[in-house]
Amino acid sequence: METNKKPTFYELRLEHSVNMYQLSQESGISSLVVWSLLTGRPVTKHEAQHVLDALNRLRHTQYTLSDVALVLEDVKDNEI
């Protein structure tokens, strides 16, 4: 992996030995959404933040969304 390349959620999951179900349970986000995040599919910023917060709590890390390569859904003003 290049030194300036951001890790994906999947890579973080492997590096920190945490599974999808732990992330779902700790974040309160459905396992289907966590799966989408881990496989590079679009998720909302809100969902991604909750899952990343769960990883940070479980593994005592301090990642921010800007540290991770992810695909966020476009949210229209009327969907907020």
| pLDDT tens-digit map of 23-80 | 999 999 999 999 999 999 999 999 999 999 999 999 999 999 999 999 999 876 555 5
* Whether pLDDT at 13 is above 80: yes
Q: Where are the domains of the chain?
A: 9-73
Is 9-73 a domain of CATH 1.10.260? yes
**45-51: long-range contacts, CB 8 A cutoff, minimum separation 24:** 45/72, 45/73, 45/75, 48/9, 48/72, 51/9, 51/23, 51/27
- pLDDT given for residue 15 in this prediction: 98
